[in-house]
Amino acid sequence: MKRIFLGLFLTVAMASMAFGHSGVTNFVPTVPDPTTMNIDGLEDDWGWFDPEFAQLPDDFVDSGNRSTTGADDWSSVQQWGWTPPPDNALFFFTRIFDDTLRAESEDRTSWWNNDNLQMAFDLDHGGGNTTVNENPEEFQNGYRHHINPLWAPVVGISMGGLAGAPAAAPHWGGEPPWAFEDGIILPPDADHFSANVEYTIEFKIHPHDIYDPDSPDNTIAHVNGPDQVLHIASVYEDGDLGDHGGQNRWVQQGGEGGDTVNADAMIDWQLIQTVDSLEGYPCGSINGGSGDPRFAADCTSVVTAVEHSTWARIKSHITR
């Protein structure tokens, strides 16, 4: 099995109260019991997930407009979950079909030229730009993950990142105990320009409002809670045409303007409580340690998973 690895891109340390909206809101259900979530690229521990919350192939559009594309070329299903403290995590799973895999270069500074997934987070909903370059004081808070289907966990920070050379090692925020990721690719020997590839990406991350690339010491936690609205953007780059990659950029409908740079145009994701109670909530998945390291708690107790809420209950949140 080949693994899918996540690289944590940068961030900044300035907050803003400028709230921007793309006009689209998705809903994120509560993971009933994080101790059952094994981050291994398999979907067998997502049986609790209500398909009503899934982002389906019809929910994605090609914002690159660089070629004629369709379901036969690329398609994806995406699903999210969340947990409160002490676990305090975001869970993600996606399954992707691609008629041609682009994996030209293992160089972390060239991942943009391969098939990959970029995730951008503005979790305090502050808005602004999620990149830092020559004038970091002009930008707002945000950070990004870059996920490559094939190669070892290396991080490049030159693309929309901190000025200077790429990092020699992964950022701390992209490694345990802060992030756990894995994936499966079929066929298992898939390589550059392999045809009809299917792969998964699964991760668990402990979120931040302010992320300091140097260490966790000056990083401010984002504390998950019911009915919060987060800014999240996910962009699948499908670069299998010609010598130059990145021809197609698949985004969720409504997020075409947000990309992974402008948080004011990102899609809103609302955390919905879909378990009966958050009291005594457990922390830590099978391979996810003992929850968010910033929250001290007795992690030995486990609550019984309950049935998730009906879609009618979720709709009631929309009309508030």
Give mean pLDDT, residues 190-210. Answer: 90
5-318 to CATH, choices 3.30.70.20, 2.60.40.1190, 2.60.40.3680, 2.60.40.10: 2.60.40.1190
Q: What angle do CA 159, 266, 261 make, to 5 degrees?
A: 15
Q: What is the mean pLDDT of the chain?
A: 75
Confidence class of residue 186 from pLDDT cuts 50, 70 and 90?
Answer: very high
25-29, 71-75, 90-94, 262-266: which range is least confident on average? 71-75
Taking the C-alpha atoms of residue 176 and residue 182, their distance in angstroms, rounded to an integer, is 12
62-66, 120-124, 152-156, 315-319: which range is least confident on average? 152-156
Token pair for residue 59? 């929910």
Inform me whether the pLDDT recorded for 13 exceeds 70: no
Inform me whether the pLDDT recorded for 94 exceeds 80: yes
The DSSP annotation for 69-123 comes to --TTTEEEEEEEEEE-TTT-EEEEEEEEEEEE-------GGGGGGSSEEEEEEET
17-31, 84-98, 202-216: which range is least confident on average? 17-31
In percent, the amount of the chain with pLDDT more than 90 equals: 27
How confident is the model at residue 115, as a pLDDT? 85
With a CB cutoff of 8 Å and minimum separation 6, the contacts of 44 are none
How confident is the model at residue 29, as a pLDDT? 97
pLDDT in tens, 247-280: 677 888 776 655 677 788 888 999 999 999 998 8
Inform me whether the pLDDT recorded for 234 exceeds 60: yes
Inform me whether the pLDDT recorded for 32 exceeds 90: yes
Inform me whether the pLDDT recorded for 315 exceeds 50: no
pLDDT in tens, 125-138: 887 776 654 455 54
- Angstrom CA distances, 79 to 11, 37, 166, 213, 282, stand at 24, 14, 31, 27, 21
pTM of the entire predicted model? 0.84
Antiparallel, parallel or unpaired: β 143-148 and 89-100: unpaired
pLDDT in tens, 33-84: 999 999 999 999 999 999 999 999 888 887 765 554 555 678 899 999 999 9
The DSSP symbol for 154 reads: -
Residue whose entry in the numeric block shows the structure tokens 């209950």:
313
Residue 50 buriedness (CB in 10 A; 0-12 / 13-18 / 19+) = middle
Nearest of 29, 42, 44 to residue 1 by alpha carbon: 42
Taking the C-alpha atoms of residue 201 and residue 184, their distance in angstroms, rounded to an integer, is 7
Taking the C-alpha atoms of residue 269 and residue 53, their distance in angstroms, rounded to an integer, is 11
287 conformational bin, left if phi > 0, alpha if psi -120 to 50, beta if neither? alpha
Taking the C-alpha atoms of residue 237 and residue 120, their distance in angstroms, rounded to an integer, is 14
Length of the chain: 320
Confidence class of residue 311 from pLDDT cuts 50, 70 and 90?
Answer: very low
Give mean pLDDT, residues 17-31. Answer: 73
Strand partners, 93: 79, 202
Helix extents (H) in the chain: 311-318
Count Cα atoms within 13 angstroms, Cβ side, for 34.
Answer: 35
Dihedrals phi, psi of 288, to nearest 5 degrees: -105, 20
pLDDT in tens, 139-166: 446 777 778 787 644 433 322 334 333 4
Taking the C-alpha atoms of residue 195 and residue 185, their distance in angstroms, rounded to an integer, is 12
Give mean pLDDT, residues 177-197. Answer: 89
Inform me whether the pLDDT recorded for 19 exceeds 70: no
Q: Reduce the DSSP state of residue 32 to 3 states and report it.
A: coil
